[in-house]
Structure 1
């Protein structure tokens, strides 16, 4: 079994009772809303990662104002030649504030649309679990930056 670790950084950007989300496109074409953010490049600082990813996915320049927490998820999935991967995603979640730029969608990336959504409408969106995790971290601001584990999540 191949062990895979992916470290990523995401932003919870909220203004006027709305949250900024990007629509993630899975390999099978499924589309779900997620927090703007993504994987760290080797040698990159997580703070630089989240600022870069917010700009790539939404067109906005942003600054991070707080570290909300860290989430870890694990799943097993099939790979080529009958092998399986033991995947762990380590997600660093920041609170962010838009400082400039204009809303636009990413081209040739892992997302295809960026939009603001009313907070009270988030439960009705087709979304990945990370959106709920990010909102819970933003609302509760746990002292250790960690929520109770949410098992079975398959998010980006």
Structure 2
């Protein structure tokens, strides 16, 4: 069987305000999971522009980027509807803050809700990139890699 090689580059925002984090609910293949607002880059798009666009699409908020926190790379097999992928995900992780807009849910997209959660009450049903990004946000490692995940 020929294995499909797939590369996905995406940009995500860690938006924390008054001890709360903004998350989107991703409609994943198995079940809905909470994720950072963000998503895949369009061809030719800068990650900085992509994260601003994606935050707005998924949450209704206009965001300003404050800092590049780091980059997460995940590589390994993935089964997609019986097809085996050699899947490489690169996630560009930014710190951002809300500068306008109002909480709105994405329609006909990869997410269906957005919500603020206390940092100590993040739902159990979240993807591991939330933990990775929060470690970057808290520890600010100079190399942009979360120590617990390396």
The question of a shared fold, defined as TM-score above 0.5 by the shorter chain, is answered with: yes
Measure the CA separation in 1 of the matches of 2:80 and 2:65: 36
Aligned residues: 148
Structure 1 unaligned residues grouped into runs of 5+: 152-156
CA-based RMSD of the aligned residues comes to: 1.6
Q: CA deviation at 1:148?
A: 4.0
Measure the CA separation in 2 of the matches of 1:26 and 1:89: 15
1:105-153 per-residue CA deviation (whole Å, 9 max, x = no partner) reads 111000010000000112x4310001101100100111010124748xx
> Aligned in 2, Cα 1:64/1:2: closer, same or farther, shift over 3 Å?
same
Measure the CA separation in 2 of the matches of 1:62 and 1:121: 23
Measure the CA separation in 1 of the matches of 2:143 and 2:149: 16
TM-score by length of 1: 0.89
4+ residue segments displaced more than 3 Å: 148-151
TM-score by length of 2: 0.93
Q: CA deviation at 1:77?
A: 2.2
Measure the CA separation in 1 of the matches of 2:55 and 2:80: 30
Measure the CA separation in 2 of the matches of 1:71 and 1:104: 28
Structure 2 unaligned residues grouped into runs of 5+: none
